[in-house]
Amino acid sequence: MAADALEIRIAHLEGAYEQIDKRLGSLDGRMASLERTVNERTDRVEQKLDATFRWVIGIVLVNWITLMLAIFLHR
């Protein structure tokens, strides 16, 4: 009878481990999906920052050239 009780307990533990394995597998999939989403959004933000940086540099250069021309032409 003790062997039967032990087998029942072991079967119960095996079932619990299977449930844990399924939950961890599900969690792993969700984390991978979240990581892809974060990477995509990060890439988009980087692209927007690059475009904004180019615009700012362009505007600064145009302003600098205009200022230099105004100084040289004013003489």
pLDDT digits (tens, 9 = 90+) for 1-47: 677 888 889 989 999 999 999 999 999 999 999 999 999 999 999 99
Q: Is the pTM of this model over 0.75?
A: no
Rg (CA), the chain: 32
Q: Which two tokens stand for residue 26?
A: 């599900």
C-alpha pair distances (Å), 50 with each of 28, 36, 43, 60? 33, 21, 11, 15
- Give the span between the Cα atoms of 19 and 11, in whole angstroms: 12
Q: Which two tokens stand for residue 73?
A: 């032409």
- Give the span between the Cα atoms of 10 and 32, in whole angstroms: 33
